[in-house]
Amino acid sequence: MGARWPLVAYNINFDAMAAEAARRLVRRMRQLPGVQALAFPLSGGRVQLSMNLTRLDEAGPAAVHDAATRLAGEPGTPELVGLCPARVAGPGCQGGLLEARLAGAAARSAGLRSQRFGDDEHRRLAGRLEAEARSLPALETTDEAMLAGAERALAILRILRPAALEDDETAAFLRFAASGLRAAVHEKPELGARLVLFDRWLREA
């Protein structure tokens, strides 16, 4: 069995860039910690800066996007390939947050178990869980959205046991999702009361 730190595949597409400018951009991006970069020509004279990011705490999508667009002198279009931990998410990462996808998968799993009970209450709960399974993976990367996602993951976790739906895997997914999304939220005065309450709930979960 092998293991490694998380890796994020992240591209930025530029509308027009000369070949020499693309090579220069690649050389400079490779100087950032943990950034593996290549440039590929696209149709219409566009260029894709294609990167693997392996040291996310030092050069995650947000930092890499800022550096690449500054060096290129143009905005570019960011594109996440796969998933990204919420705490290092940047432009283009909406809908690709690892924790939000896990929360959605946990909601779907719990919803399927709820359907098996067959009574009206569990069927209604299954519908609500399926709605969460569809909407959570599309979570945006704003502080407000990620805190709301963390709250929703924790709310699902809190109903599993009384609804006789709890299992170790689903609970672990939801705890990981809730804590990961919470870690991505910046401390803001307007979120202070919600963060204090959420942190208490998380400790009790």
Q: Is the CB of residue 154 less than 8 Å from the CB of residue 178?
A: yes
Question: Under CATH, domain 8-83 is a member of which superfamily?
Answer: Formiminotransferase, C-terminal subdomain (3.30.70.670)
What are the domain boundaries of the chain? 8-83, 98-204
What are the C-alpha distances in Å from 182 to residues 77, 89, 115, 119? 27, 13, 30, 35
What are the C-alpha distances in Å from 87 to residues 21, 67, 194? 31, 18, 18
Residue by residue, pLDDT tens for the chain (205 residues) are: 777 788 999 999 999 888 889 999 999 999 999 999 999 998 888 999 999 999 999 999 999 999 999 999 999 999 999 999 999 999 999 999 999 999 999 999 999 999 999 899 999 999 999 999 999 999 999 999 999 999 999 999 999 989 999 899 999 999 999 999 999 999 999 999 999 999 999 998 8
This prediction has a pTM of 0.89
